[in-house]
Structure 1
Amino acid sequence: MTAPVRFPRFFVTNPSPCPYLPGKSERKVFTELSGPHTDELNDALGRIGFRRSQNVAYRPSCLDCKACVSVRVVVDEFQPNSTQRKLLRRNQDIVVEACEPWATEEQFSLLQKYLSKRHPGGGMTEMDEMDYSDMIEQSPVKSYVIEYREPTVDGVKGRLVGACLTDQQGDGLSMIYSFFDADHPDRAGLGNFIIMDHILRARKAGLPFVYLGYWVNGSSRMEYKVRFQPLEQLGPDGWRRFNPKANLKKTI
């Protein structure tokens, strides 16, 4: 790391059941994000596969599994395919606004609806409004809540249909957590639209990457990430182009 920060202290969690692969356990290494150079530290850790959760940066450190791989979209080379172009046209009327990281009841209500549809029984379903506020507002780095709304009518803001907690790093946008109306009758594919919007926003800002978190080999819940090519994955030799077919082989 080249950031002018003291070397952080790292800790390791106890093993717990993996939320992605049945029969596996997960373990994480983490450190606190604090001090006057937190943005620089978060940038440096992000480049080596760490993710942020509130004031903590973490990455997998599992004993018997290497399925989780950090991935990022190469912004300048991304060209939407025909399906993605249709999705962009279909949602071109959506009003997008980058807001300060402040939790609202409207966001929390949408999150609850999203979790009950897409992740019933998951750990996040137990979140209350205070937990959600902590997730959004306890950010020691430059963060936004990017809101996606239906068109404004008669000066009244349209209904919230999607949101993403996003960090702006030195080399890209890091999508910390996104959620959306998964039951919307006229806007299928909102999750993919939110990712494409981040790619376009990063391109406009001159940022080379959009960080999508971890791709998990063997987890169908993560397959959507390979649709956004070209994609890079982080391996022992640094960031390399991600070939989905090559990664179909068993790695756990």
Structure 2
Amino acid sequence: MTSATESNIKLFVTPPHPCSYLPDQQATTLFIDPALDVTTALYTALTHAGFRRSGPNLYRPHCDACSACQSARVLVADFRPDRSQRRLYQRNRDLQIQDLPAHFSDEHYALYCRYISARHRDGAMYPPDEAQYRSFLTSNQHFSRMVEFRLDDELLAVAAIDQLSDGLSAIYTFYAPEPEYTRRSLGSYAVLWQIERARTQKLPYVYLGYWIADSPKMRYKTRFRPLELLTQTGWKLY
């Protein structure tokens, strides 16, 4: 971040806390001043510098002894779905998709609870909690959206995304965890949908958050290539 505006931003650093991605590791996190009025242009510039949104907060890892977290983004114009991804498109052609402002919905939260309870019992978000959900995924920012994926009237997935000046930022996706929906690979399909949405908007990137080489939970991101990672010397092709 090099502009005069960006250089005057107040930053806050947390005390060390357990790392969310690597077991037995301690992490520190850098936060942007929560009182700052964040425009789309500023948010985009901060994303270029490795920041990410969680609820009202923009943050990035700031660990002295570790640099494993690298921001990842898909190069939209060069992305070509492989055979399995093309099949996935076809498998989900019957879904109805609606793009809405980020908001709290009882229906969304019920799906989130099913998802967390089935898929992430070992994580920090279990057991699901409405206050935590609201602070994480709802937002009054104009750039924040929630995209619903429905089969007829049944809600199967919700993707929280942000609209940046040069792309879409994939914040979080939760979906129906029941076995009858496994073949739909709803999490992967939501990423494919965002890539296609960015393509139609002539946006160059879909930002996928952080990628960590030693984290099995992150490996799915490498299926969406070409992928760039943010290094100390800039964005580099993975």
Q: TM-score when scaled to structure 2?
A: 0.92
- Residue 199 to residue 227, structure 1, CA distance change in 2 (3 Å): same
Match of 2:174 in 1: 179
Q: Structure 1: which amino acid aligns with 2:150? A: R
SS state at 1:125 partner? coil
1:200 to partner: Cα distance: 0.2
1:148 to partner: Cα distance: 0.6
Unpaired runs of 5+ residues, structure 2, are none
1:17 to partner: Cα distance: 1.2
SS state at 2:115 partner? helix
Match of 1:250 in 2: none
Equivalent positions of 1:1-252 (< 5 A) are 1-2=2-3, 7-151=8-152, 158-188=153-183, 189-242=185-238
SS state at 1:113 partner? helix
1:128 to partner: Cα distance: 2.4
Aligned residues: 236
1:240 and 1:30 map into 2 onto residues whose CA distance is 25
1:96 and 1:37 map into 2 onto residues whose CA distance is 28
1:36 and 1:20 map into 2 onto residues whose CA distance is 29
Q: Which moved more, 1:136-145 or 1:65-74?
A: 136-145
2:70–2:212 CA contact under 8 A, matched in 1: yes
Q: Equivalent pairs: percent with the same residue?
A: 38
Q: Which moved more, 1:91-100 or 1:175-184?
A: 175-184
2:225 and 2:191 map into 1 onto residues whose CA distance is 12
SS state at 1:160 partner? strand
| 1:41-85 deviation line (CA, Å, top 9, x unaligned) | 211100111001122211111122111110000001100000000
| 1:159-191 deviation line (CA, Å, top 9, x unaligned) | 111111111000100011111112241442111
| 1:140-167 deviation line (CA, Å, top 9, x unaligned) | 351100111113xxxxxx2111111111
SS state at 1:96 partner? strand
2:167 and 2:44 map into 1 onto residues whose CA distance is 9
Unpaired runs of 5+ residues, structure 1, are 152-157, 243-252
- Residue 133 to residue 37, structure 1, CA distance change in 2 (3 Å): closer
When the two chains are superposed, the root-mean-square deviation of aligned CA atoms in Å is: 1.8
